[in-house]
Amino acid sequence: MDHPAIERAMHTGYPYSERRQMFGEDGLANDVHVGDEILKFDGEFYRVEDLSVDAIEILEKHGADYEIAK
């Protein structure tokens, strides 16, 4: 079992920073931080980095909008 800071860095690729504020948790339970690219669809949002190409294509075809988490 790794230290939570190590797990966070492994998951996000970044060490924790106070400047990188939490935006929320997306529809797939992934942490989303301010500045992350998200797709908004039907009242939910998804971090683009965590989606497969197929999932992105499906969301786009159903009218999802790209935004930057603020």
Sign of CA dihedral 37, 15, 8, 12: positive
Q: What does the pLDDT read at residue 57?
A: 97
Nearest by Cα to 49 from 63, 28, 20, 22:
28
Which residues of the chain carry a pLDDT beneath 70? 1, 12-20
Distances (CA, A) of 47 to 2, 39, 69: 24, 7, 9
The predicted-structure confidence for 34-51, as pLDDT tens digits, reads as follows: 889 999 999 999 999 999
Output phi, psi for 11, to 5 deg: -75, -45
Which residue ranges make up each domain of the chain?
21-68
pTM more than 0.75: no
